Amino acid sequence: MDGILNILKPPGMTSHDVIQWVRKVLNEKKVGHTGTLDPGAAGVLPVFIGKATKIIPYIHEDRKIYRAEIIFGKSTDTQDQFGQVIKERIPNFSLGDLRYILNTFIGRIQQKPPMYSAIKIKGKKLYEYARQGESIDVPTREIIIHSIELMHHNIPHNAFLNIECSKGTYVRSLCADIGESLGCGAYMGFLLRIGSGAFSISSSYTLEEIESRYIKGLIKNILLPIDFPLGNYPKIHLKESAQKSLENGNSIYPQGIITDIKEYNENTLTMVYCNKRLLAIGKILYEEEKKRYYLKPLRVLK
């Protein structure tokens, strides 16, 4: 089986748990995912099966969309509802104050990842330091908040936000930072990922739906093609005579290529097809000696 499942991850499972579930239920060995979700969070988790696992390093999930609940007046050590309360303050702000503060987080900002996260520093995951009571300096990193939409609120107690952001954003930390800016602290009470790159929650499937389709022999009806999330890459089409050479890892020169590769710049990443079938992810290079472009396969889907 080769393709992608757009899975609606339930709360209470880690992303790795979902992978193990897919391996067991669908009897597949090669399974991977992109865009890890916290165990308590739910939502879109793209899962790649078979040959599709080979394209994971080339997927640009540049934008994520979340629905999050932010609860004001308390701060927790994990920045979500599952942590220990470390500070409690009475929230005292208006709806106008909240709207103003939300706007200050739009754009390119610096964010410090939470201590309870899987980011590695000096070969050790941050949550391992946190569980051992060790303090460590966590560097900030740049993220992009494209938009924050206030969906519903019960000011000054809680609010529901739609957040569109870059890959690598910790919504938990964003909620905590918003709370600090309001002077009362806050933590994330609920998180649902409703979009991840090309994948949307509207076309996702629960584990129960996937298992039912598999049992009925209908799993292929919901299996997305391998090239589904690669729509931003240009396409290169090969002649049939060049297919075997590419599959053996050899570079392909203009005589074996149907597409005019002169249209592309050097180092352009491309999807490589033959007879409408995706064969590889490749790169356009330039040979100075012979003044010609050629195609080098980076990942062959064998």
Q: Tokens 């308390």 correspond to what residue?
A: 74
What are 75-102's pLDDT values in tens digits?
999 999 999 999 999 999 999 999 999 9
How many H-runs (helices) and E-runs (strands) does the chain carry? 6, 17
Q: Quick one: three-class SS letters along 96-111?
A: HHHHHHHHHCCEEEEE
Which of 65-79, 100-114, 124-138 has the weakest average pLDDT?
124-138
User: What global pTM score does this model have?
Assistant: 0.87
Rounded Cα distance between 63 and 144, Å, is 9
CA distance 171 to 196: 14
CB–CB of 112/126 below 8 Å? no
**Those residues with Cβ within 8 angstroms of residue 130's Cβ, 6 or more apart along the chain or in another chain:** 77, 115, 116
Does 80 qualify as catalytic in the annotation?
A: no
Residue pair 75/86 in contact (Cβ under 8 Å)? The answer is yes
Residue in 2, 17, 38, 80 annotated catalytic: 38
Q: Peptide bond preceding 254: is omega within 30 degrees of 0, i.e. cis?
A: no
β-bridge pairing 63-72 and 158-166: antiparallel
pLDDT, position 128: 73
The predicted-structure confidence for 267-280, as pLDDT tens digits, reads as follows 888 999 998 899 99
Q: Which helix (H) or strand (E) holds 22?
A: helix 15-26
